[in-house]
Amino acid sequence: MSDNGQRPKNNLIILQRGEPVLAQVANPVTDINSEQIKQLITDLKITVAEAKGVGIAAPQVGESLRLFLMCSAPSERYPDAPLLPISVIINPEIRSTSEQQALGWEGCLSVKGKRALVARYTSIDVSYLDEAGTKHNKTLTNFLARIFQHELDHLDGITFIERLNNENDAIDEQQWRETYLT
Ligand code: NI
């Protein structure tokens, strides 16, 4: 317990697909400077680092808020990911997209042990607020565009499984590993 009676949370439990909050449309963040939001951002940073994810959305830890982190870095599961500082993305919007989509392998911390090829726009124009409340307008391409679309889906109650033509198109991570990692 700290002096103000708030329990340090930090490493949060990541909910799995099937939990109702992961199927809900999340609410806009109205007070970026609140202690609740600051604590949530701190906790998400620790949680996604420990889980070795490239992104995490607030609903995945049970908070139905339009907020996610992008934390692209190369890893075994995402060897081609660019190394970037963690971005906090609040109240995001996709303003426009490329016509072109591409298939790429995705997994999700809320769909443990599964991978699938998911079609995403290769380029998107986005806007969002960062944790200081500063507005950003950016064009994201390729892997970063993919993370953004995957995480934004979480804010709209969608996991990558719902993006597949057939749920059985998802394969076991172990099978993926044996087939696609050399
Ligand atoms: Ni996910």
Q: Which domains does the chain have, with CATH numbers?
A: 20-180 (3.90.45.10)
pTM to 2 decimal places:
0.92
Question: Read out DSSP for 8-32?
Answer: P--SPPPP-BTBGGGGSPPBPP--T
173 catalytic residue (yes or no): no
- pLDDT, tens digit only, all 182 positions of the chain: 444 556 567 889 999 999 999 999 999 999 999 999 999 999 999 999 999 899 999 999 999 999 999 998 888 878 888 888 899 999 999 999 999 999 999 999 999 999 999 999 999 999 999 999 999 999 999 999 999 999 999 999 999 999 998 888 899 999 888 888 76
Q: Which of 35, 151, 162, 173 is catalytic?
A: 151
Distance 151 CA to ligand 1 centre (A): 6
Distance 73 CA to ligand 1 centre (A): 16
Distance 59 CA to ligand 1 centre (A): 10
**Whole-Å CA distances, 175 to 86, 103, 119, 128:** 30, 18, 20, 37
